[in-house]
Structure 1
């Protein structure tokens, strides 16, 4: 076990993990799952933090193969201060107790899953928790717990895998290596997985039963095929194997010789940064939930959903569906109130404090999803009841709301109309027959391949009423209780910052003095703008980005929308330079390169030598969203220019004591194994005012109450 003499030993992540990145474009020819011993884990998970009792609650997952049920690995731990300034604080020793919560026969061997309960007291200083597994100590077997008075350093990421036919040979770097390099200096306390933590689209290739179903040409036979016990066993085998290989080894193989990767730093990150996750379609199968109800209700598709949900809960939440307390009564859950239509289980959203002044809510936007509904109304009611209860019990200044798919994103109305139009019927027919453009339609029900992606979006014709209703309620909640809401999303394989804020009056040839004052107030005092909500869109941490033409189209499709008479919706034009730092960009709202993001409290930036040297900021600065340069950090301005433009405004945002810094870490060069990233940041201030009620007149599409 550790002692004070070596407690503060340096953690050189660059030196430790650089060699592992060389495997990013290849993988073992056969499955790396070992025949005996630990085959997955340790995987850390944050459950909740109770600031009334000053207790931190989490869990650790370890999966073994061909070991006795009673032969649980032993995890011992030591806690102590993270910084020498608190070195007089004593080290404390203990052991995390295991619970064997699930077992399964897998390829003729026994799989046992163990959950270790983590419950530790918060202290006046940041703690490092170092642990050993069966006496084995590794540098990354540690995690960091903030002091009882400090908010969390948060990572947000999504799309952690490749599509089945992606050519991975050009992606020689690893964003997980970059995360590890920054973690050793920043000390991230939690990473929020916004969906697609694993890509299971290969089920149609590597599950014999699903492949047989996909290859069935007769649509009637396909729809009526029954998923019998053998079929369901095949599904279980696929998801168990997929999770063991990816979560245990970072191993993945796609459909071509050039579709493979080993992301060794991903399992390393899982062992050192506790996770909180929600899921999205690729955790199941591409598009799950956004196909027609007739397909979703089939025996095959509903069985796929049920199997994936089971293993999602096992590996990403460390819970078995058979455990009443852990599955249905844990304090972290925000449960749906009625079984979901195709899986038959309650949706599982997650709430926890991530600091005395911050909270996060991961909204389960997949379990209840159907073509015309994302989340059931009763679940929304439960969500706002929980938020109201929590903020009344103990006020928080900032809410991080996880939504898998961006809610502030360009509309694709024309494509939706085209893909569902009868005009395309002849082409779809020929594509189904394999005569013309065989990849134009999907292999499940013959719809246009991209239609499920469009149907997934909040702005799609099926969901826009639900979207606007939710946004209005979020604005009302934030304004009433003085809570700044920041939305975290992924899914779209690029970096962006959507934004809602108080409307600026424009299009007047000669603006009145009063109008100019109002507009100036909105720009100058965002901390007093009760309608300001930023949607941090971070995707993909692993998957390939779209071509540059996509970002050009999106930029053109992103005018300033009027959400209601008092709220503007746009995107923050923060990508002012290419990642090389020297070339100005014209497409400033979207950057199609691999990325991940973090949300760090301003107080933590100021108190961390590494971050302070990087951002070069101080309280009271007004910073323009944009690229962070090594020489100057973010550009600081003293005076705001008057708004004479109809385009995207880029006013500065103040560095405030209770604010946060939101940063996109964008891959600088995908062919470089050094895996460097370029940072694009903006401060997000707290909300300093309250209003009992906001007006939402003028919303075009609004769900009925």
Structure 2
């Protein structure tokens, strides 16, 4: 069963863990007329499903349950699903981003599109992961606006005063288009066992809404059509990427109002957090009050901190490139892409503010930033060895890589370096075993904790796995 017949799942979502066990939510997607899935059977008994929502012709169901430490997994609808429940020793975490392309993603050959997912599933079968971190652009919804008169020309031309009935029609259209894209991802052949056995934690980026959301002119994003698009994208993000609705927001996200959907989770010895860089964004800010209050109130409790930043936090001097492009008329249409970056002129003060927060957390424990977004693999370091912060960029699990010449040119540009905070220079570095700063191959990242120490390995489409990088 899959996308074509309206079935997907179970898909696990990580809720937390404590001495009682591993708290999970499993969503199952079925046609509206298919009825409810069976109960989840665990050591503690049978757990009945609840219906979360109905979208387009689909019903979304959720089981909430806890697996005791050391329990082998759960049983649902005739199948056993193994889950790694011991998180206090040696564990593995996978990180992916950029699962799609802007144009024609629904029509791609599935074996080609999902090649790296198949490799990740093989790696999971070899040595199970405790967690799957998804760093943004889990779907590419850019074409979801096509096919409706209100949004066909988005974002270039918009109707001046659409009627409530027309906006309702647009909402239903967008819901169908978003659901279609999520189903393509979640029902992908070869990924079902991975999603059913490895709990996910996801943060969104622009393509989960539309290309450049928050960096587009505010006349577009604040319009009636723009706000309808955002509301649908947000609802779909909560449903499909968190197994949640608005009433779950206070329990799952750091800002209880839901204006910002940044989250924090704690594992034994690990603090994970992901600021939401899209919900409150506009052309002159990355986050609003809700996002900043959450980050500034965050105090790590583990021996290592992993921050998921959907846009790379440590990067080259893109503000210099931004200035250059703005004086070249043919290049000005790339402004939104550069405005998306922390290093943009428009966001430089906020960039320093976030770097300052990372250094504050670095006093408590080593910090590693995980990021995607650029469709390349790279890494960076900030600061002297005593307070070094690592950044690992794994971008493009299914998005095809840009030309190698682009990666080489960006690498030369990155050689200029940057030091937005005095005494803490940022350096873009090659991956282990690679000569150049950026690798133009599809990729994903695995993180392993062995005997209390973390290391990272990039899995590159053509070059294969890199030697491990110690994270200290």
What is the aligned partner in structure 1 of residue 368 from structure 2? 486
Partners of 1:246 and 1:214 lie apart in 2 by 20
Cα 1:449–1:272 change in 2 (3 A) is: farther
What is the aligned partner in structure 2 of residue 365 from structure 1? 277
- Which structure has more relative contact order (CA 8 Å, sep 6+)? It is 2
Please tell me whether residue 236 in structure 1 is matched to residue 172 in structure 2.
Answer: yes
Partners of 1:270 and 1:238 lie apart in 2 by 25
Please tell me whether residue 296 in structure 1 is matched to residue 90 in structure 2.
Answer: no
Q: 8 Å contact 1:493–1:544 — kept in the other structure?
A: yes
Task: Decide which structure has the larger Cα Rg and report it.
Answer: 1
What is the aligned partner in structure 2 of residue 33 from structure 1? 4
Match of 2:146, SS?
A: helix
Mapping 1:347-426, distance limit 5 Å: 347-354=260-267, 356-385=268-297, 387-388=298-299, 391=300, 395-421=301-327, 424=329
RMSD: 2.7
Cα 1:414–1:333 change in 2 (3 A) is: closer
What is the aligned partner in structure 2 of residue 602 from structure 1? 450
Please tell me whether residue 662 in structure 1 is matched to residue 456 in structure 2.
Answer: yes
Q: 8 Å contact 2:40–2:63 — kept in the other structure?
A: no
Deviations 1:226-272 (A, max 9, x none): 363333433333334433x4443449xxxxxxxxxx94233442222
Cα 1:246–1:291 change in 2 (3 A) is: closer
Deviations 1:139-187 (A, max 9, x none): xx3322125x326421111101122057956947611100111001221
Cα 1:240–1:347 change in 2 (3 A) is: farther
Mapping 1:610-649, distance limit 5 Å: none
Partners of 1:191 and 1:206 lie apart in 2 by 34
Partners of 2:155 and 2:225 lie apart in 1 by 10
CA positional deviation for 1:545: 0.9
Cα 1:542–1:239 change in 2 (3 A) is: farther
Partners of 1:172 and 1:346 lie apart in 2 by 34
1:202 aligned residue (143, 162, 176) = 143
1:468 aligned residue (352, 355, 358) = 352
Partners of 1:215 and 1:460 lie apart in 2 by 23
Mapping 1:177-576, distance limit 5 Å: 177-211=118-152, 216=157, 222=158, 224-226=160-162, 228-243=164-179, 245-250=180-185, 263-321=188-246, 323=247, 326-328=248-250, 330=251, 332-335=252-255, 346-354=259-267, 356-385=268-297, 387-388=298-299, 391=300, 395-421=301-327, 424=329, 448-479=332-363, 481=364, 483-502=365-384, 522=385, 529=386, 531-559=387-415, 560-576=417-433
Match of 2:25, SS?
A: strand
Partners of 1:458 and 1:212 lie apart in 2 by 29
Cα 1:237–1:592 change in 2 (3 A) is: same
Match of 2:414, SS?
A: coil
CA positional deviation for 1:273: 1.3
What is the aligned partner in structure 1 of residue 23 from structure 2? 57
Partners of 1:172 and 1:363 lie apart in 2 by 29
* TM-score normalised to structure 2 length: 0.91
CA positional deviation for 1:477: 2.5
What is the aligned partner in structure 2 of residue 48 from structure 1? 16
Partners of 1:213 and 1:469 lie apart in 2 by 33
Deviations 1:175-202 (A, max 9, x none): 1100111001221011111111111011
Partners of 2:47 and 2:68 lie apart in 1 by 14
Task: Structure 2: give runs of 5+ residues left out of the alignment.
Answer: none
Q: 8 Å contact 1:358–1:396 — kept in the other structure?
A: yes
Task: Structure 1: give runs of 5+ residues left out of the alignment.
Answer: 1-30, 79-91, 217-221, 252-261, 338-344, 428-439, 441-447, 503-521, 523-528, 578-584, 604-657, 670-676, 686-705
What is the aligned partner in structure 2 of residue 120 from structure 1? 67
